[in-house]
Amino acid sequence: MRRFPGQALRLGISATAVSLLRTSRWRGDKVAVLAEYALPEDEPNIASAAGATILAQALRTLLEGQDVAGWPVGVVLADELCRLWQVNPPPGAARLADIEAAAALRFHSLYGETPAAWAFSADWDARQPFYAAALPRALLAVLHALADDKGMHLVEIVPHFVTGWNRWHRALRAGGWFGQWHDRMLTLAAIEDHRLRAIRAVPVPQGADHYWLTQTIGREALLLGLSAPAQVQLCGALPPALAKPVQAGQVACVQLGAAQGNGMSPASLLAAAGSPA
């Protein structure tokens, strides 16, 4: 596959499917879906070692017949495969090791999982709270092995929420929360006084509407000790039920950007969310 200037590849990886896209800044279609592959149902979580083996097979099937050698590749991981949380530096923290240990302890208390199985990244700060992300090491090993085998250049591996936050956080209105809606997952960012207080990934039930969204936001606000926001600003492919007017007492929702869809599958929308490579 000949590569022209400004072109790159994107991989979208969720718990149910993988997708390969070609993006272009200047030539032809901005986004072209090259291949998609559905993962087997009822298989181990792909964030686990056993699931990573299944993912490796799925990605090789996805790339079969694709000439990807030499291409830059950005990878977007669905939020259910990642962990995002706030870390409060311990008093007197002065070394990177101190705040890394605090991040690991907080991770274990929140998720009850072994930190050794996850790779941490963060804007490390010993003076004020910061946010950290954890990606499964087994999944990262699959991606790096695949890139080496296919001759691809991995330029980015990022949680889906981070792509949305980086794009929209400067446009958010005061007094509201931010949310990213994708497939069966809503990732909420609770905001207070222009400061990100917490990130919550919430499974979305079938038929979710304004009532469900209001109840979910109210519950999360109560757990965080915050007042429920007057509105939530959402990006992503929103369900039709949220296009209806809100009723009295419900949290208003504002669509950020044009409604997404364009006939693309959730896996391809995931891949398309990445940064230009």
pLDDT digits (tens, 9 = 90+) for 40-85: 877 667 777 788 889 999 999 999 999 999 999 999 999 999 999 9
Based on the domain organization, do 157 and 183 belong to the same domain? no
Which residue from 77, 211, 207, 56 is spatially nearest to 143, judged by alpha carbons? 56
Q: What percent of the chain has pLDDT over 90?
A: 57
Helix, strand, or coil (residue 196): strand
Based on the domain organization, do 150 and 177 belong to the same domain? no
Cβ pair 242, 188 in contact under 8 A? no
Q: Is 249 a residue whose pLDDT tops 80?
A: yes
- Segment 234-263 mean pLDDT: 82
Listing DSSP states for 28-65 in one string gives: S-SEEEEEEEEPPTTPPPTTSHHHHHHHHHHHHHHHTT
What is the model's pLDDT at position 17? 93
| 186 domain residue, yes or no | yes
User: Number of structural domains, the chain?
Assistant: 3
Based on the domain organization, do 98 and 147 belong to the same domain? no
Cα 262 from Cα 130, distance rounded (Å): 36
Domain that holds residue 49: 7-80+136-163+266-272
Residue 153 DSSP one-character state? E
Based on the domain organization, do 68 and 198 belong to the same domain? no
| 70 domain residue, yes or no | yes
pLDDT digits (tens, 9 = 90+) for 160-216: 999 999 999 888 888 899 999 998 899 999 998 888 889 989 999 988 999 999 999
| 2 domain residue, yes or no | no
Q: Is 4 a residue whose pLDDT tops 90?
A: no
Q: Phi and psi for 230 in degrees, rounded to 5?
A: -75, -25
Helix, strand, or coil (residue 254): strand
Q: Which CATH number does the domain housing residue 29 bear?
A: 3.30.420.40
What is the model's pLDDT at position 239? 85
Based on the domain organization, do 152 and 76 belong to the same domain? yes
| 94 domain residue, yes or no | yes
